[in-house]
Amino acid sequence: MQDEASYVCDSCGEEIVVPIDLTQGSTQHYVEDCPVCCRASLIHVEIDADGNARLWAEPE
């Protein structure tokens, strides 16, 4: 089981590590501001049956 994953901010190119909350279901979507450039990204998380997370982001 993963408890964190990362994505690359589309605005500044920094790799951002975020915690994964496995209690929120296998498909999650939320908005998070980049801690480096403060631009908002829509974060998508998919968790498989083994607890492995796939995470990607797109500009909001």
Q: Return the domain boundaries, the chain.
A: 4-59
pLDDT per residue as tens digits for the range 23-59: 899 999 999 999 999 999 999 999 998 888 999 999 9
Strand residue runs (E) in 1-60: 4-8, 15-19, 27-33, 40-47, 53-59
Q: Count of CB atoms within 10 A of residue 11's CB?
A: 14
pLDDT-derived band of residue 1, with 50, 70 and 90 as boundaries? low
| pTM for this entry | 0.85
Distance between CA atoms of 47 and 59, rounded to whole angstroms? 21
